[in-house]
């Protein structure tokens, strides 16, 4: 029983990690004060040329 | 009565085994002195890195780091300084990923944290900045 408890694998909380990453990126890149334009599209076509 | 006591004992054991953030989809704790100071240091460095992202000299890698993409975009006299800037940034980033996983009681999450950041830095980058795509090629956003 104890061994079972110890080997429990806790799943990685992906959504919480994304939220945490975004909060830190906001701070580091100062995205909250509107200093930088929003660039929220992860799926934008890579071939796009400005 | 006995079952109730047993259940409480089991719950208590689970509470010990599972740290709070793992129960449900709670927020990750990012409010520690180490994380805050890394954040400040990276924020200060960003004023120097931003023009390098914009010129394409430096790009965002898939693994949550930054790298020299185009040395020719940097005058020879400044190359050493830019390389040092990149090295310090990557050092802070590595420490950040490690600290977040540790602060939440799961050092083994470090690689997942790094991968998550790798995606988020890229998806929140400004238009015109360069990032590495899945095959490792540089792409202009």
pLDDT single digits (tens) B75-125: 999 999 999 999 999 999 999 999 999 999 999 999 999 999 999 999 999
What is the pLDDT averaged over residues A31-46? 52
Q: Show the tokens assigned to B81.
A: 């300084």
Q: Using an 8 Å Cβ cutoff, are B130 and B59 in contact?
A: yes
Contacts of A23 in chain B (CB under 8 A): 30
User: What average pLDDT does this structure show over A6-31?
Assistant: 89
Facing residues of B40 across strands?
Answer: none
**Ramachandran region, residue A6 (left: φ > 0; alpha: ψ -120 to 50; beta: rest):** alpha
Q: Are B69 and B131 in contact (CB under 8 A)?
A: no
Q: What is the mean pLDDT of residues B11-16?
A: 50
Please, which residues 1-50 of chain A have a Cβ atom closer than 8 Å to chain B? Answer: 5-6, 8, 10-25, 27-31, 36-37, 39-42, 44, 46, 48-50
Q: What's residue B13's pLDDT?
A: 52
- Cα torsion for B116, B114, B49, B140, to the nearest 10°? -50
Cβ pair B18:A8 closer than 8 A:
yes
CB-CB: which of A27, A31, A39 is closest to B39?
A27
Measured between alpha carbons, how far is B99 from B131 in angstroms, rounded to an integer? 25
Six token digits for residue B32? 């520690």
pLDDT tens digit sequence for B14-24:
455 555 444 55
Q: How far is A29 from chain B (nearest CA, A)?
A: 6
């Amino acid at each position: 029983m104890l061994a079972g408890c110890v080997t429990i694998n806790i799943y990685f909380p992906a959504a919480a990690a994304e939220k945490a990453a975004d909060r830190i990126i906001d701070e580091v890149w100062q995205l909250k004060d509107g200093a930088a334009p929003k660039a929220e599209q992860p799926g934008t076509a890579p071939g796009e040329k400005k | 009565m006995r079952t109730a006591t047993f259940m409480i004992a089991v719950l208590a054991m689970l509470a010990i085994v599972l740290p709070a953030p793992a129960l449900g989809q709670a927020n990750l704790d990012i409010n520690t002195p180490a994380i805050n100071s890394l954040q400040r240091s990276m924020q200060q460095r960003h004023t120097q890195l931003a023009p390098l992202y914009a010129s394409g000299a430096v790009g965002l890698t898939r693994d949550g780091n930054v790298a020299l993409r185009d040395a020719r975009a940097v005058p020879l006299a400044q190359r050493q300084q830019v390389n040092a800037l990149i090295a310090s940034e990557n050092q802070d980033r590595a420490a950040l990923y490690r600290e977040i996983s540790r602060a939440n009681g799961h050092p083994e999450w470090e690689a997942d944290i790094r991968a998550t950041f790798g995606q988020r830095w890229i998806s929140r980058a400004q238009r015109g900045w360069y990032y590495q795509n899945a095959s490792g090629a540089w792409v202009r956003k």
